[in-house]
Amino acid sequence: MIDEVVGRLKSGKEADVYLVRHAGEVVAAKIYKEREHRNFRNNSGYREGRQVRNSRTARAIAKGSRFGVQAAEDAWKTAEADALGKLYAAGVCVPRPVMFYEGVLLMELVLDLEGHPAPRLEEASLTAEEASALYFDLRNQAIRMLCCDLIHGDLSAFNILLGNRGATIIDFPQVVDAAANSQAEFFFKRDIENLRRYFETADPSLRARSGDAHEIWRAYVKRELTPDFVPTGRFQGEGGPRERRFSGPRDRSDGNGPGDRPPRSDRPQGERFPRGDRPPRGDRPQGDRPPRGDRPQGERFARGN
């Protein structure tokens, strides 16, 4: 599968990446580290909702047997290759997957405009205009991912490359199933807010976009999300004004509210509509019921007496 190992590209907490030659092309080979050496050792929150085709394997993973632990480890490594294939086909700017074999992922080597391996976003110095453009581009890519029912789960400036095709998102082993994970909303909003806060340091005007994640997720839940969805920016984030809840149509033909009900200011204060000629409570006869203390315990007093 590999004709030549050109050299190591980088070493991270999750995997080592090498430059290798495969079928006459230089590609990136990602070799995952063992679980005890990874940053995402406690990855159950990310794995929730992931489907395992083999029912026996799924049961073993749920029980946590030795075979199940190894199967979960293999599924963790396979998740990135599966996600890259799905996202690349959907037009998200991710490395083109080449193949996944024996726990090694071969994928396109992302290059910059000069033909060198692309730098990470956190290494770049950005103007306000560049930061704003990158935020909106990456937000749109996150929307496209969500339309595929996928959430990156750990999106930050450390796993975005500034490639010759634009900002390219990498590192997907912790990808979250948006339709099946109970924490999907949290992961998605965290991803978008990580981006917004990062770019806000260069472009303070992005503070006004603090409600983008909420609007996008709301559209997803309502099944109204499309790849070209654009948030309005009207929602002011978690600390802003609450959204008005629609409780049904009202008859406001007279401008005063539902029906013929008069405005609150025109209603007589301190009065209620009469209920007949009932006497005040203090003047009502109490009947022949004995005092509470004289009633026999354990019996109910007959209503007629």
In DSSP notation, 123-187 reads: G----HHHHHHHHHHHHHHHHHHHHTTEE-SS-SGGGEEEETTEEEE---TT-EETTT-TTHHHH
Closest CA to 92 of 147, 15, 29, 156: 147
pTM: 0.72
> Which of 6-15, 39-48, 67-76, 107-116 ranks highest by mean pLDDT?
107-116
Q: With 70 as the cut, is the pLDDT of residue 287 above it?
A: no
Nearest one of 279, 226, 263, 261 to 91, comparing CA atoms: 226
The per-residue pLDDT for range 96-139, each reduced to its tens digit, is 999 999 889 999 999 999 999 999 999 999 999 999 999 999 99
Question: Does the domain at residues 7-221 carry the CATH identifier 1.50.40.10?
Answer: no
CA dist., res. 42 & res. 69, Å (int): 12
Can you tell me whether residue 107 is helix, strand or coil?
Answer: strand
- Report the pLDDT averaged over residues 79-89: 94
- pLDDT tier for residue 276 given thresholds of 50, 70 and 90: low
Distances (CA, A) of 224 to 64, 219, 242, 258: 38, 5, 21, 31
**pLDDT tens-digit readout, 190-232:** 999 999 999 999 999 999 999 999 999 999 999 999 999 999 9
**Helix-then-strand count for the chain, H and E:** 6, 9
Tell me the mean pLDDT in the region 70-82. Answer: 78
Query: Is 13's pLDDT higher than 90?
Result: no
> Would you state the pLDDT for residue 255?
40
Bigger pLDDT: 285 vs 81: 81
Q: Which residue has the tokens 């750990």?
A: 154
Tens of pLDDT, residue by residue over 144-164, are 999 999 999 999 999 999 999
Q: Output the pLDDT for position 253.
A: 38
Domain residue ranges of the chain, discontinuous segments joined by +? 7-221
Tens-place pLDDT, residues 226-269: 999 999 987 765 544 444 333 333 333 344 333 444 444 444 45
